[in-house]
Chain A
Amino acid sequence: MSAEIVVLVEHTNGVVKKVSFELLTLAAKHGSPSAVIIGAGADQAVADVVRYGAAKVYVANDAALTTSVVGPKVAILNQLVASASPAAVLIPSTAEGKEIAGRLAVRSGSGVITDAVDIEDGIVAVQSVFGGSTIVRSSVTAGTPIITVRPNSTTPVESAGAGELVAITADLAVSDTAAVITDHVVEAKGGRPELSEAATVVSGGRGVGSPEGFDVIEKLADSLHAAVGASRAATDSGFYPHQYQVGQTGKTVSPQLYIALGISGAIQHRAGMQTSKTIVAVNKDPEAPIFELADFGVVGDLFAVGPQLTQEITTRKG
């Protein structure tokens, strides 16, 4: 029997995020996938992770484990590193996921690699760095490889696993619960998919010109069930909230389809979207560097092209 590869499942009250299925699919290529589900609703998530190949499912169905910042998740994963001696631990490369990975590395005496886009034989992590210009292959040389993997790196494949259930209880240190979450405040706009997970992203830049102008971006995004992003120029100008920034100092996205409207394509922005599978750009300036990346580009006014595209999509989707 091959060694376990432990996958930390990301879920909200039992609703599993797609990236978890991607990680299970990746884990199955290199060992026996074990899912770890932590927090309220963990029981409801079991069937889904088994459907995507989990041979073993570690369940800690305790709401108290998610009321502190990352500590309890680190404690549970550290227990599993010790008890199951996995070949690797895979964690979604989100802001929280990377923090969990970092602390787990220190606690378990292991090396950590973040933002992998693939894992090759021998647990070699493939990263795409410097805005996608360079491909790096790295290995962990101490302890258990702790690797965070970016969403949209792999296509999840359904393949029923054995799904052996193992209940676990956390053995917490005082410092694991020292930062207490007292409230969740949701500010998200209108039920769109999360930026880092979305299959399609529609982004606006300086050319959008105003907060009101983002109406065009949002309407196009909604016609495609896409997430909305913004360039740094747009967030710095106050056109759109900062947390939607795509780029070097914002989020890195790698969707199937990225549509950039009124974005020139400075390296700051390219660093966050260059690995998108298909890129479509609309910009007034034919010299804009975004056209060097675009699979399909239109030199034109986004306020003419954008609404027409939204209309066409709505019509064609019937």
Chain B
Amino acid sequence: MPLNIVVCVKQVPDSWAEKKLNEADKTLDRASADPVLNELDEYGIEEALRLQEAHGGQVTILCMGPEKAGETIRKALSMGADDAIHVVDDALHGSDAVATSAALAAALGTVEFDLVILGSESTDARMSVVPAMLAERLQLPQMTFAKKVDADPDARTLTIQRQTDDGYDVVKSSLPAIVSVVEKINEPRYPSFKGIMAAKKKPVATLSLTELAIEPATVGLAGAWSGVNAFEQRPPRQAGTVITDEGDGGTKIADYLVTQKFL
């Protein structure tokens, strides 16, 4: 039996760049850093492609974001996904995780799938809640923080290793299910030249809030259920003492730890 998979991806500011908030509406200043595909999503795409290689089926990219996120969708398609859905609507700007999960859940309602795969978090907001919220909204098994994924499409079952602080849990469920994957579950492939060329021709459907039957007032900044009251820059740390090791560097650190009452 083939396995149809939807991979949710997000466009985020480059995680190697300094980030800041907009003074005006207190949302993330996305113009201050290069927009890239959330790197943790690459593991989700790679895992979907591997499952497709093993079982067959379709890999569809789902992305909510502004017009510009089209670049991120092409990157995901260039890795080898078949087609994409772009949820795009000006009213979505500033959506919180609750609204984001509502829009993604509505978009998932328009396709047939056996698995939804996401990265375990986005490197901008870092809340790590959207996969769980999708499981909640769609009433599907929450198979999150997977470091290993085994699907059996014939038996309609899924087994994952869920990463924990001290190891992992073995978790089993039926299909369909919501999966999030952690970094290092695999080694994401680089898009080949052929893949980049092919991606330009792959179908990308767009969905507006109207098409998803979502009331614009329930999403975006105005519809958010939490909001930023104020923000400020933390004063830089006071410069400390830096010495050069002259054979007693370890002893000097121990002396310092004593003055700070750590020893």
The chain A residues found within 8 Å of chain B, CB to CB, are 69-71, 74, 94-95, 98-103, 105-107, 110-115, 124, 128, 130, 132-143, 145, 173-175, 178-188, 194-196, 200, 224, 235, 242-243, 245, 248-250, 252, 256-257, 266-268, 274, 278-280, 282, 286, 291-301, 304-313, 316-317
Interface size bucket, B side?
Answer: 35 or more
Question: A103-B136, A114-B128, A187-B167 given. 17 additional CB < 8 A pairs?
Answer: A70-B132, A99-B132, A106-B133, A106-B137, A112-B129, A134-B20, A135-B234, A136-B230, A142-B225, A182-B170, A185-B170, A187-B166, A194-B166, A257-B262, A266-B16, A298-B245, A300-B244
Q: In whole angstroms, how far apart are the Cα atoms of A92 and B234 in the complex? A: 24
Write out the residue numbers on chain B whose beta carbons fall within 8 Å of the beta carbon of A235.
184
Write out the residue numbers on chain B whose beta carbons fall within 8 Å of the beta carbon of A200.
262
Write out the residue numbers on chain B whose beta carbons fall within 8 Å of the beta carbon of A298.
242-245, 249, 252-253
A312 and B167 contact, Cβ closer than 8 Å, known pairs A115-B126, A179-B141: no
- Best-buried of B136, B140, B231 by chain A (most CB within 10 Å): B136
Q: In whole angstroms, how far apart are the Cα atoms of A310 and B171 in the complex? A: 40
The reply to whether B173 and A196 form a contact with Cβ atoms under 8 Å apart is no
The reply to whether B140 and A175 form a contact with Cβ atoms under 8 Å apart is yes
The reply to whether A304 and B171 form a contact with Cβ atoms under 8 Å apart is no
| Interface: B229 (CB within 8 A) | yes
The reply to whether A133 and B225 form a contact with Cβ atoms under 8 Å apart is no
- Main secondary structure on chain A at its contact with chain B? mixed
| Interface: B24 (CB within 8 A) | no
Write out the residue numbers on chain A whose beta carbons fall within 8 Å of the beta carbon of B142.
69-71, 99, 103, 178-179
Question: Nearest chain-B residue to A248 (Cβ)?
Answer: B15
| Interface: B114 (CB within 8 A) | no
The reply to whether B173 and A178 form a contact with Cβ atoms under 8 Å apart is yes
- Best-buried of A139, A140, A300 by chain B (most CB within 10 Å): A300
Question: Nearest chain-A residue to B254 (Cβ)?
Answer: A312
The chain B residues found within 8 Å of chain A, CB to CB, are 15-21, 39-40, 96-98, 101, 123, 126-133, 135-137, 139-145, 161-174, 177, 182-184, 224-234, 237-245, 247-254, 256-258, 260, 262-263
Within 8 Å by CB of A105, from B40, B133, B239, B243, lies B133
Within 8 Å by CB of A134, from B232, B239, B257, lies B232
Q: In whole angstroms, how far apart are the Cα atoms of A219 and B53 in the complex? A: 44
Write out the residue numbers on chain A whose beta carbons fall within 8 Å of the beta carbon of B140.
175, 178
Write out the residue numbers on chain B whose beta carbons fall within 8 Å of the beta carbon of A313.
254, 257, 263
Write out the residue numbers on chain A whose beta carbons fall within 8 Å of the beta carbon of B169.
69, 181, 183-185
Q: In whole angstroms, how far apart are the Cα atoms of A299 and B253 in the complex? A: 12
Give, as a whole number of angstroms, the nearest-CB distance from B18 to chain A.
7
The reply to whether A181 and B256 form a contact with Cβ atoms under 8 Å apart is no
- Best-buried of A71, A106, A181, A292 by chain B (most CB within 10 Å): A106
Q: In whole angstroms, how far apart are the Cα atoms of A70 and B251 in the complex? A: 47
Give, as a whole number of angstroms, the nearest-CB distance from A104 to chain B.
9
Q: In whole angstroms, how far apart are the Cα atoms of A282 and B242 in the complex? A: 9
Question: Nearest chain-A residue to B17 (Cβ)?
Answer: A267
- Can you list 19 A-B pairs, Cβ within 8 angstroms, ordered by A? A74-B136, A102-B130, A105-B98, A105-B133, A106-B136, A114-B129, A115-B126, A128-B234, A137-B228, A141-B224, A181-B169, A181-B171, A184-B167, A256-B262, A267-B16, A278-B260, A299-B243, A304-B250, A312-B254
